[in-house]
């Protein structure tokens, strides 16, 4: 046994030594002579990712978009009087934009491609280029800005889709490969390891549970594939941390389990229904930890529970400290929002809490948030294409104003042309207050005339007219 181990060690040393000699020779040889690494040493093939990549690269596509964005203009010209005086058009000024990104074919039969929302946002034309050089015009199936996930569709003509792994099985230190279209150069492959898991609180997206990797991710890689050494998709590349705009070895990818969950909701309903339990939390800081008499300073303190909410039914109380959700550690208040918001409606969630220094486990069932989309065919066509929601507890204006939040506005709709934008808060309709979504819906459904909306945007308020 000892001799066998020694022989193996000796062979390994010789293999590495020969590999080093070959690499040195390849680096120092100059002139017309061509030097190359050997394909094998003592009959053993050198390791290579090429066989895996030959199977995977046909599933990664390049995405080019053309879009239009509204041009910021002098506030003076927002006044209708000045617009008429200077004979300016009523439609907002726009300029064309172009962008490049990547995508991954996840369903060849249906022609479905996963990418980032920011890759196709504001796009009026999307062109997908396959590895073999074919070009297709794509249409948007749906997108979710809060997670930066989007699904587009191309004709299902001899496509190849990628195998998918369980991203929950990833471990720090696993080797990964990033494939995409950085800087528009064309398909490019980089490698690295999983540097960290469940990164959140970065302020990149609304809901964050990122895979961090040191595989080079650069502008244009967005929407591309992060795969394991088996060629299975584990994440969708989405962002980098950089002070210069270039890669410094800190890249982030959306776990594929989360991306597929979002995709299924987009395919089913065209939108994502957020999980809701009805609880407000804040970070557990050292002062609070000392006041509660606990040593652990990681967690989220419950400061309020909504009546008749799943949180109240589960038994959560103000002063409880949430330390984990579904066995995932809660380090800060943002973790609670991320964990709950990414769970599908109807799923049971398990909270581990500290109450009076003792650990307890509570269970709640996720319900839908109050966000909804006004259906096509509503009696008020002026609001078709508008998605609205109540002002929920994590909104900056919660308990400051009463009204409804604009979650999305379809480009080209009457509301969009009138100037309504995502993030606006409507506080009244035709001078009638609308304190919540239910009252807003009841009011607008009874109106068949022009709508005059009082809108708060940032620190300013204005009236918008939708004819």
Distance CA 406, CA 92 (A): 19
Asked if 187 contacts 62 with a C-beta cutoff of 8 angstroms, the reply is yes
| Helix residue ranges, H only, 270-403 | 286-292, 310-314, 333-341
Residue 332, Cβ neighbours under 10 Å: how many?
Answer: 18
Residue 43, Cβ neighbours under 10 Å: how many?
Answer: 5
Beta partners for residue 102, in sequence order: 62
166 catalytic per annotation: no
Asked if 117 contacts 51 with a C-beta cutoff of 8 angstroms, the reply is no
283 catalytic per annotation: no
Residue among 144, 148, 161, 209 flagged as catalytic: 148
Distance CA 234, CA 256 (A): 5
Residue among 99, 118, 320, 324 flagged as catalytic: 118
459 catalytic per annotation: no
Sequence length of the chain is 467
Distance CA 250, CA 214 (A): 5
Tokens of 26: 């390849």
Q: Pick from 324, 354, 352: which is nearest to 339 by CA?
A: 324
Dihedral in degrees, nearest 10, Cα atoms 20, 24, 26, 27: 140
Dihedral in degrees, nearest 10, Cα atoms 320, 322, 327, 333: 160
Strands (E), 14-118: 40-41, 44-45, 60-70, 94-107, 112-116
Write the CB contacts of 309 (distance below 8 Å, at least 6 apart in sequence). 276, 277, 278, 279
Separation in Å, CA 151 to CA 103, 104, 148, 319 = 9, 10, 10, 41
Distance CA 298, CA 279 (A): 18
Distance CA 75, CA 64 (A): 33
Q: Is 245 left (phi over 0), alpha (psi -120 to 50) or beta?
A: left
In Å, how far from its chain's centre is CA 244? 22
Write the CB contacts of 248 (distance below 8 Å, at least 6 apart in sequence). 240, 241, 242
Residue among 99, 200, 216, 222 flagged as catalytic: 222
Which amino acids are annotated catalytic? 118, 148, 222
């Amino acid at each position: 046994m000892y001799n066998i181990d020694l022989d193996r060690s000796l062979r390994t040393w010789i293999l590495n030594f020969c590999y080093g000699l070959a690499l040195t020779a390849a680096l120092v040889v100059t002139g017309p002579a061509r030097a190359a690494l050997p394909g094998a040493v003592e009959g053993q093939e050198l390791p290579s990712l090429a066989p895996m990549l030959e199977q995977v690269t046909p599933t990664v596509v390049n995405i080019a978009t053309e879009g239009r964005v509204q041009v910021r203009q002098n506030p003076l010209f927002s006044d209708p009087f000045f617009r008429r005086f200077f004979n300016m058009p009523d439609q907002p000024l726009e300029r064309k934009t172009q962008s490049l990104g990547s995508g991954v074919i996840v369903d060849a039969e249906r022609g479905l491609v996963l990418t980032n929302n920011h890759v196709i946002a504001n796009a009026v034309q999307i062109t997908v280029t396959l590895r073999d050089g074919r070009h297709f015009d794509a249409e948007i199936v749906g997108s979710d800005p809060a997670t930066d996930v989007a699904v587009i569709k191309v004709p299902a003509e001899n496509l190849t889709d990628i195998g998918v792994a369980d991203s929950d099985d990833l471990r720090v230190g696993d080797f990964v490969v990033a494939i995409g279209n950085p800087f528009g150069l064309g398909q490019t492959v980089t490698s690295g390891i999983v540097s960290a898991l469940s990164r959140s609180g970065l302020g990149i997206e609304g809901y964050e549970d990122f895979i961090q990797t040191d595989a080079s991710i650069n502008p244009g890689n967005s929407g591309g594939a992060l795969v394991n050494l088996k060629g299975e998709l584990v994440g969708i590349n989405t962002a980098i941390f950089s002070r210069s705009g270039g890669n410094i070895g800190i890249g982030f990818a959306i776990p594929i389990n989360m991306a597929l969950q979002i995709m299924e909701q987009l395919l089913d309903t065209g939108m994502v229904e957020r999980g809701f339990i009805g609880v407000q939390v804040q970070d557990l800081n050292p002062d609070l930890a000392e006041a509660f008499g606990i040593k652990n300073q990681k967690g989220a303190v419950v400061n309020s529970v909504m009546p008749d909410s799943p949180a109240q039914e589960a038994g959560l109380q103000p002063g409880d400290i949430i330390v984990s959700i579904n066995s995932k550690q809660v380090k800060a208040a943002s973790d609670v929002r991320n964990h709950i918001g990414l769970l599908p409606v109807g799923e049971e969630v398990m909270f581990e809490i500290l109450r009076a220094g003792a650990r307890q486990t509570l269970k709640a069932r996720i319900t839908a948030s109050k966000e909804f989309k006004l259906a096509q065919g509503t009696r008020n066509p002026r609001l078709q294409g508008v998605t609205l929601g109540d002002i929920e507890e994590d909104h900056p204006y919660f308990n400051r104003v009463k009204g409804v939040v604009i979650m999305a506005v379809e480009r080209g709709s009457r509301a969009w042309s009138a100037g309504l934008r995502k993030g606006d808060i409507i506080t009244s309709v035709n001078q009638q207050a609308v304190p919540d979504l239910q009252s807003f819906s009841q009011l607008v459904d009874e109106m068949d005339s022009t709508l005059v909306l009082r809108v708060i945007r940032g620190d300013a308020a204005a009236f918008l007219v939708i004819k």
